[in-house]
Amino acid sequence: PTKQSVPVIRIKYWVKIKYAGTDEPPERGILGRMVLDSQWLSVQDLLSFISMPNKREFEVCFNSNRALTIFLDGFTNNSEKWKDFEIFSPFDSDTKTIVVKFWTGRIADEDIETYLRRYCEITKPVIKPVDNLGLWYGVRKYTVKMKKKSSRLYNGRISYQGQTQLCFVCHSVDHQVKDCSFVKCWKCGETGHKGKECQNTELCSLCGQQRHSYFMCPSSYSNKAHAQSQLFEGLTHSVSSLTSQQTEQHSQLAQITASLQGISAQLAQLSVATTASLAPASQAPVSLAYTAPAATVFSVSKPDKYEGSPDLCRGFLLQMSLYFANMPSTTDFCFTFDR
């Protein structure tokens, strides 16, 4: 009898789920309910659900592209539910969930995101998972869309599930950084020398521009905050200086006003003394009411002809009083009024 050929079934739609938390990994049944926790997925959409021997990794095979897409969307959109898990899928998509790990908590999120934007587009806010004590342990998770063309990383490391692991220093696939024999410069990114020996043009590992390092980068969050602080201090100093100048000017104006008042008082006293010295000895003290000495007489012209307008009445009366006060006693005068 002829042996019949068995058709080969090639599974195209699958994901590998890895538990990355600090506690014991969940049981298969618990994770299975998490996978199916969607009104758009059912058991019929899954071909298999297998727990790996290490109990931290699980493989889920789907029977259609639709089911896989629904699961990936749910994983990406429900970050709190899947915060302790990482996934890898060969599904052709430019959208990735990447993990950024720093061994210091002093690097600002803004600097990390400035660096990432050189190579990918950040589509969702950062996720910073915490341990069972509620403390963040240095891992950042981003959902990004990878750029088709980007320069090569030289002073940082971004990882995601399924990527080819390269040596951080020389980018070899044969070993990791702890086994690398090359020396790498943190200033220019070239191998063969250290930063303190570098003679090349400095290259910023944050913004990618030349002639400055990350520590002096104007795009650095700390440098921008420092510049804003200096600007605020400068404005505060300018306002304080202007306030001091205004206070000093007010003080000077007060002194000038007091001096003018003193001069005015002295002039008044001098006028009284001059009047008293010009009066005859037998005469009573001179009254200042409209009888001024001849030396103080001023020539005042006659008022204009009054037309009878109410608006001009007050000015006309003032001119009349001044004329009478300074008019020589021998002057004849006559005013005509129009009715």
Average pLDDT over residues 107-114: 88
Could you tell me which of 168, 148, 170, 169 has the C-alpha nearest to residue 159?
168
- What pLDDT sits at residue 330? 52
Residue 244, token pair as written in the block: 């001091």
CA angle at residue 208 from 202 to 213, to 5 degrees?
Answer: 40
Distance CA 13, CA 67 (A): 9
Of the chain, the percentage scoring pLDDT greater than 90 comes to 12
Burial 141-156 (b: 16+ CB within 10 A, else e): bbbbeeeeeeeebbbb
* Res. 119 pLDDT band, cuts 50 70 90: confident
pLDDT tens sequence across 247-294: 888 888 888 888 888 888 888 888 777 777 666 655 555 554 545 455
Question: From edge to edge, which strands make up the β-sheet containing 85-88?
Answer: 46-51, 57-62, 14-19, 85-88
Distance CA 129, CA 85 (A): 10
pLDDT tens sequence across 199-237: 887 778 777 778 787 777 888 877 777 777 777 777 888
Bridge-based pairing of strands 46-51 and 95-101 is unpaired
Of the chain, the percentage scoring pLDDT greater than 70 comes to 79
Distance CA 285, CA 276 (A): 7
pTM of the model: 0.35
On the question of pLDDT at 15 being above 60, the answer is yes
Domain ranges of the chain: 14-173, 290-339
**Mean of the per-residue pLDDT values of the chain:** 77
